[in-house]
Structure 1
Amino acid sequence: MSSSEEDVAGGAPSETPPATAEIQAIADKIGGPLEEKENKRYPTFKATEYKSQVVAGTNYFIKVQVADDDFVHLRVFESLPQENKALALHNYQTSKTKQDQLAYF
């Protein structure tokens, strides 16, 4: 096993592919709680790209377009299936741009 394979096996975040329908569905479920925390409504809520990290469950880092050139980064935790817990918004960053890289936060 190469060192890069060890990094992936050790829980390093994935590459940053375009968002899929599954990732959009996760973002949609978190949109309401985020709007409540920020006390604002977002005119758009379109996931554009993401990373995932396998831990005791999965962390998703999702870049979401909320206006023309206004993005938020979400960290969403999905527990293991047998735990039967809801998706949780663990952290987020506002005032991001399309060019901002997704990184662990």
Structure 2
Amino acid sequence: MSLGGPSETKPATPEIQEIANKVRCEVEEKEHKKFPEFTAVEYTYQVVAGMIYFIKVHVGDEHYIHLCVIESLPHEKKPLTLSKYQTNKTKDDELTCF
């Protein structure tokens, strides 16, 4: 990883699943639907003034979404923020910064 650049893509961990779970309701609300599944598959991150996580999530059948979630610095005491997301992704779509 270069300074300020994204990390390599890694398999999702329980911590990454927890981050995805925290923004699930917001994504479902924006998409006007409930996903039958919401399983984090892989992720990459970028260290800035806090952390930016890019997470590939399996949402059922052959459907995936990509999340961009911001975690502020601990002293700011702010909740995780869903910055943006991309729908209509597939298992083979590369997870990139967006």
Q: TM-score, normalised by structure 1?
A: 0.91
TM-align CA RMSD: 0.7
Deviation at 1:34, TM superposition (A): 0.5
Residue in 1 that maps onto 2:44: 51
| Identity of matched residues, % | 57
Residue in 2 that maps onto 1:80: 73
Paired residues, number: 98
Could you say which structure has the higher helix fraction?
1
Instruction: For structure 2, list consecutive stretches of 5 or more residues without a partner in the other structure.
Output: none
Could you say which structure has the higher strand fraction?
2
Instruction: For structure 1, list consecutive stretches of 5 or more residues without a partner in the other structure.
Output: 1-6
| Letter matched to residue 102 of structure 1 | L
Q: Which of 22, 36, 44 lines up with 1:29 in the alignment?
A: 22
Large movers: runs of 4+ above 2 Å: none
Give the whole-Å Cα distance in 2 for the aligned partners of 1:39 and 1:19. Answer: 26
Q: TM-score, normalised by structure 2?
A: 0.98
Structure number with bigger Rg: 1
Question: For 1:41-84, what per-residue CA distance to the aligned partner results, in whole angstroms no more than 9, with x for missing partners?
Answer: 00000000000000000000000000121000000000000000
